[in-house]
Structures are given as C-alpha cells and as structure tokens.
Amino acid sequence: MEFYSLENIFKKCPDAQYYMIIGGRSHGKTYAALRYVLENYVTKGERGALFRRYYEDFKGNRASMLYRALVENGVITELTDGKWDYVYYRAGGWYLARNEMKGKEVHRVTEDFPFLFGFPLVQMEHDKGSRYTGTVTTVIFDEFMSRTGYLPDEFALFTNCLSTVKGQRTNLKVLMLGNTVNRYCPYFKQMGLTHVKDMKPGQISLYRFPMDDNRETQVAVEYTNMLRESGTGGVDEFFGFDNPKLKMITSGVWEFAVYPLLPCKYKPRNVLFTFFIRFDNELFQCEVINVTDENGVTLDFMYIHRKTTPLKYPDKELIYDTDFSPKPNYRRRITKPTTTGEKKLLRYFLLEKVFYQDNATGETIRNYLEWSETETQT
C-alpha cells in the first residue's frame, strides 16, 4: 500500500513553521508524524508534543495504543538498534520501553523521560510554565478538524498551548493533521488560509505572512492524494456504497451529509420573505416560500441557495453575519431570536422545513447553525 509521507511537503516548503496536512482517513498521516517525532528523538535527542482537544483523548487504550502500528511494524526496534521494542504510556507521556526477565518475572524497563508529551487543549491553563517548556521541537495537532464542533475560543487555546510548549526555540515544526470531515474549519480563517476549500488532492500550497522585522510566518498546506494499492487504482470493496458520506474514505474528498433539496418549482410571487446568511466567506439567500402544488396542497417551507450577485439593499435587508455590525438590519445568531419575526424564521429549522440548493450548501448552513449555538466563538 502507498501511504502518506512527510518528505514531499518538507522538501517543497523547508522553512515553514506550520505544516497542515489534510486528506481522507487511514492515509497514514498520523503514522508518518509519529515516526518523524521518534526518528528525531533517536537521532537528535529532540522531543515532541501531541495536542488533542480533550483530556479523555489521553486516557485508556487510545493513548496506550498510539504507537501500536509502529511497534507491530518493527520500527521501534529498528530505530533503536534493538535497545527498545515498544512504547509505554504513563501520565501524559510516551516512553521507550522493553521487557526484561528478572528471575521468573517479567519487568518493564523504560527510559527516565518521555520522548512525546500529551497536551489536551482544555487543560491548557494547567500546563503553563510546565517542565516541558523548551524541550520540544515537533508539535503534532491530531484531528484538528472536527465535524462535531470546536472548543470555545479554541484557536486562542491552541496558540497559548503552543507558546507554552515552544519556549524560546525557533526550530519548532507544527504538524496539523486533519481528515476531510468538514469543509468549514475556524483554523482556516484564523490563520488566513483562504483557498484550502478549493484545493485538489495532491496539491501543496504555501502561505507567507510577513512580519515587521523582515521575518515571516509560513504555513504549508497539503491535500493528500487518495490512498491506493500499489499498481492499482482500486477502491476498497468494503466502501462501494452509493453514499456521499463515504467519499471522504474512498477518494479523500470533503465529507457531506445528504440534505433535502428543493421539493418543487416556485415563482417570485410565492416568496413571502427573503433574508441572507453570510458565513465562512460565502453568502446565502434564504427564502420563505408558500406555494400550492399540483394536488392543491399548500406547501410552506424555506429554501436556501447561494447568492452570487450583490445585495440590492444591504442597509435594509435582514442579514445574519458572524462579524459584528452596529447596523440595525444585521444579526449574528439565528438560533438566538429576539423578535417575533426571527422566531418564525427559526421555527422552519426546528420543524425541519428547510431545503437546500445542494449538499454543499446544506453543509455550510449546518456549520453556521452549530456556530450560532455556541456561546463563545473560536
């Protein structure tokens, strides 16, 4: 099998501080990053840090089995010339280990200090000024993209945690690994990555952000190629169903749910009210429609589609926008209605009477609604 390698992005973007790597599941992104940390430790004595969102990500089998694939492939034994043969997890750290016989009993022997430390972002305040400061040269932020939501002010938590781990080092590499589970990711906007959603598999983009002292922050973004078996272009036969949710696995494309599409034709006179939602640099037109079908049944629903032309009355039309605005026609969260009219609009979502131009539109609006329900935003 052809799995992911860091070699290409490091070669094309050698001076980046951030390496954002996105693609389908099981492409080997995490494997490659974990191996990179281990190789750096064995050859240079440099350590790594693993970021995840929640404390629960560092408990039980999920943490203990992190290096399982590298152990089973003999990588630990190979890199350490047989001195160590597996990795042991304890109290937020991963240690090189081996078993030794003492009499009739097996005893575990580990190194005195971990080569990889775990940092849950929700615990960031507790890790300030910790003993790990300045000992890490590689940070892995695994599964930085989420379909179920982000922490309040997550980007601030991430950068604060990164500052704690970094210390005074200037040779830090930050590997941000994500599956293509959601086209919306607040990190794209917070980091100024404007074209990630338009990237194609196999593409690498480099963003440069100049600083005042002639230095610059560089972010390299790679959209990994589809995982394929050597010599073939085949797709795993376990995922051949006609379901758009599986495309992320079989081809590495962005995952979309299936959303209800426009149920019938309508004319301009059937539109009772129009408002707009601006989210993730896209503008959507939302129409409340009342129309009679061929059977004489009155249909009352909302239809949402992309708005590709400028607004006619930007100071008068109701606009929901994530940015703050003092204008009286602007609102932010549609799930927090303050007037009778806004409550009526929200009711269409609660009754599931909202239809979309396509699945991509439905996915973006789903993310907006999730954003709208979050009290403190990332």
Domain segments of the chain as ranges? 7-250, 268-373
Classify 7-250 by CATH class. alpha beta
Encode pLDDT of 335-371 as tens digits: 999 999 999 999 999 999 999 999 989 999 999 998 9
Is the whole-model pTM more than 0.95? Answer: no
Pairing mode, strands 173-179 and 18-23: parallel
Contact status, residue 301 vs residue 353, Cβ threshold 8 Å? yes
DSSP string, 237-276: GGG-SS-GGGHHHHT-PPP----PBP-S---GGGEEEEEE
Q: Which class for 131: exposed (0-12), middle (13-18), buried (19 or more C-beta within 10 A)?
A: exposed
Specify the higher pLDDT residue, 369 or 225. Answer: 369
pLDDT at position 377, please? Answer: 47
SS3 177: strand
Of 155-159, 236-240, 366-370, where does mean pLDDT reach its minimum?
236-240
pLDDT at 227: 60
Other beta carbons within 10 angstroms of residue 141's beta carbon come to: 25
Burial label for 176, CB within 10 Å (0-12, 13-18, 19+), is buried
